[in-house]
Amino acid sequence: MIDLQQLREFPDKFKASQRARGADESLVDQILAADSAKRATLTEFEEARAEQKAFGKTVAQEKDKAKKAELVKEAKGLSDRVKALQADSDDAANTFDALIAKLPNLIVDGVPSGGEEMSVTLRLEGTPRDFAAEGFTPADHLEIGERLHAIDTQRGAKVSGARFHYLTGFGARLELALLTMAWDVAQKAGFTPVITPTLVKPEIMAGTGFMGEHADEIYRLEADNLYLVGTSEVALAGYYKDEIIDLSGGPIRMGGWSSCYRREAGSYGKDTRGIIRVHQFQKVEMFAYVHQDQAEAEHARMLGLQEEMLNKCELPYRVLDIAAGDLGDSAARKFDCEAWVPTQDTYRELTSTSNCTTFQARRLHIRERDAEGRTTPVATLNGTMANTRWLVAILENHQQADGSVRIPAALQPYLGGMTAYGPEGPRY
């Protein structure tokens, strides 16, 4: 939810944001009209109800039976009018609520306009390997994973269906090592480790902004009216729902580890080979509650931690400033880090970090108290530290001509000192 007072005062800013997103800017005028109608009908209802209460005292004080009967009859008519006005007020409020729920967050100044293709590359880091110069053709991650008995998609499909997989042996250990290192990096940076629920209530899912245009990607358990999360961001955002939190000691930072589930609706035929786009994966996610004026600095800090992880994994990557049309509803700005995937000859997304300003906090009623004692919404931010997809980039970028995979130095302590893993097993 956006700042309604800001919308009333600066509607053109929201229209510009909608244009940048490629969204309907007329929604802003519809919301303002609905807001006016809501306030007008509420005022009329409250005035009529006050009149009804005052008239009720007059009826109660009347001693003459004949006059009292007339007053009772008049009171009945007034009561019917109050009920009708209340219904009008409720309808106007429902119309307003439905419209305001459709309006995505106001983008931050400087976000590129347009769709995905308009995202801006901020920088390239690292140099992709020249496999031709090394004298061999790189295998893709699934071929490597099957050779090393690390990834099994066939049995995953047999047991659970398409886009499910098993990680076995080295694959399982590599994922745990990666996520544990991510958790360690996050904890060192002040993020409290949290293992989160993976099922949440509808109001938590809606509060984080995931029930918009991408709602069809979410798994729902109809019998329980619960949703499976696609990121621990959802559970972490709901942690302080309806609470006033204390940020006097600085931001509240949490690092969530969870299984994540995505239906990947609308992506039929895309990345069906291997584990690039799957229905279930593991992820470590950063989440922070901060003062509104600290949000942009926290966003840059999260991006820096993501780049630290990419450097530890010795992966070439690029940083993108994501265009407005490719932002989720809750994000005011988002940076992606994409790692080089040799067999695809392109960069693929491994991390995102989003500044959601006060959008989620307003929906979830999460506030702080300022120096004057007033409550004000906090800002929330999130960012990936590592997930299952990272295995794709690690396996492909660090494969060797003899069929083994070299372990990046930073990961070696998390694998008992293992320096490489080949068909014959681990090397130390």
The catalytic residues are 262, 277, 349, 352, 389
H-helix or E-strand spanning residue 221: strand 220-221
Residue 51 has which token pair?
A: 């009149």
- DSSP string for 285-310: EEEEEE-GGGHHHHHHHHHHHHHHHH
Q: Report the alpha-carbon distance of residue 326 to residue 205 in Å, rounded.
A: 20
The burial class, CB within 10 Å (0-12 / 13-18 / 19+), for 37 is: middle
Report the alpha-carbon distance of residue 219 to residue 231 in Å, rounded.
Answer: 12
Query: Strand pairing partners for 386?
Result: 284
Determine the Cα–Cα distance for residues 381 and 401; give it in Å rounded to an integer: 42
Residue type, 58: T
CA 189 to chain centre: 21
- Taking 3-state DSSP, the helix, strand and coil percentages for the chain, each rounded to the nearest 5, stand at 45, 20, 35
Cβ neighbours for 277, distance < 8 A, ≥ 6 positions apart: 163, 264, 267, 270, 271
What whole-number distance in Å separates Cα of residue 319 and Cα of residue 387? Answer: 17
Q: Is the dihedral of CA 290, 295, 298, 304 positive or negative?
A: positive
Q: 149 and 163 in contact (C-beta within 8 Å)?
A: no
Distance, CA of 221 to CA of 233 (rounded, Å): 19
